[in-house]
Structure 1
C-alpha cells in the first residue's frame, strides 16, 4: 500500500465513510428542545455526547501537534457539567468547534509532510496514524449512541 493510499483510507474513515455515520447526518434536524432531553436507560443527553466528542477530539488533535498540551482531567474534564447546553449559542459554538477540529485532524493526515508512523516526540509511542484512528473510532462510537438516543426520543428517520 502506498503512503497516499493509506492516507486516503484514514481520511475516508475520518469523514464518516464506510460503516461510519457522519457527524452532520447525526446532528441534522436535532431540535433545540431535545439537546438536553433525557431518556430512561440512556446514560447521556445529546448535549453531553456532542460536547464530549468535541472535547476529546480537540484533546487528541492538540496532543498530536502540541508538546505543551495538557489534557483535561480524566474523566470529569472530558464531559460537560450539565445535561443541556446553557443556550443555543453554546450548542452552535460546540458544533462549529467540532467541525473545525475535525478538519484540523483531516488536514494533519492529508499533509504529505506528516509522517503517519513516526512516534509523536512528546508521547509514549503514539503516532499520528494511531491518534487519527482513535478520533474516528471514538466519534463513531458516540455518534452511534447519539442516533440511538434520537431513536428513543422519536427523533430519527432511518
Structure 2
C-alpha cells in the first residue's frame, strides 16, 4: 500500500484540478448568475449546461464506484440539463453544493484504506477504481476548457 499512497495523493490532487489550468471552483466564482444561461457566439451550450453535465457525470461515476446494484442513466438525455440555466439562485446553489459534496466523496473513496486503486468497482468486473477516477479527472478537465471558453466569450476572463 505505501507505493499506492503516492498515487492516491496525486489522483486526489488532480480531482480538484488546477495543476495546469483554472479550477472549476475558480471558474464558478467568475460567472455571475445572470450569465449562467447565455450561449455565447452560437455555442451549443451555456455555462450552466456544461457545469450540470460535469456534475451529473461525476455523480454517475461515483455511483458506479460505490453501488453494487448500479444502473446506468440514459445517454445522453439524463446527462444534460433540460434547461439552459437554473430556475433561481437556490437551484444554482444546490447544484454547486452537490458537485462539491460528490467530489469530496470521491476524494474520500480514493484515500480510503479499504479501497485499492486496482480493486474492481462493485457493480462491474470490467473496471477498476483507478480507471473510474481517471475518467472523472479527464472528463472534468475536458469540459473545464469549454467552461473557460464561455467565460472568455462573455468577457469574464482573459489570460
Tell me if TM exceeds 0.5. Answer: yes
Q: Does the 8 A contact of 2:65 with 2:122 survive in 1? A: no
Give 1:81's aligned residue. Answer: 82
Unmatched runs of 5 consecutive residues or more in structure 1 = none
Give 2:95's aligned residue. Answer: 94
Compute the displacement of 1:142 (Å): 0.9
Give 1:145's aligned residue. Answer: 146
Q: Does the 8 A contact of 1:21 with 1:140 survive in 2? A: no
Give 2:12's aligned residue. Answer: 11
Report the structure, 1 or 2, having the larger helix content: 2
Q: Does the 8 A contact of 1:13 with 1:20 survive in 2? A: no
2: CA distance between counterparts of 1:147 and 1:122?
Answer: 34
2: CA distance between counterparts of 1:76 and 1:90?
Answer: 20
Counting matched residue pairs gives 158
Unmatched runs of 5 consecutive residues or more in structure 2 = none
How does the TM-score come out when normalised to structure 2? 0.93
Give 1:58's aligned residue. Answer: 59
How does the TM-score come out when normalised to structure 1? 0.94
CA-atom RMSD in angstroms: 1.4
Compute the displacement of 1:157 (Å): 4.0
SS of the residue corresponding to residue 108 of structure 1 reads: helix
SS of the residue corresponding to residue 70 of structure 2 reads: coil
1: CA distance between counterparts of 2:108 and 2:39?
Answer: 36
Compute the displacement of 1:17 (Å): 4.1
1: CA distance between counterparts of 2:20 and 2:60?
Answer: 25
SS of the residue corresponding to residue 84 of structure 2 reads: coil
Q: Does the 8 A contact of 2:70 with 2:123 survive in 1? A: no
Give 2:119's aligned residue. Answer: 118
Compute the displacement of 1:45 (Å): 0.1
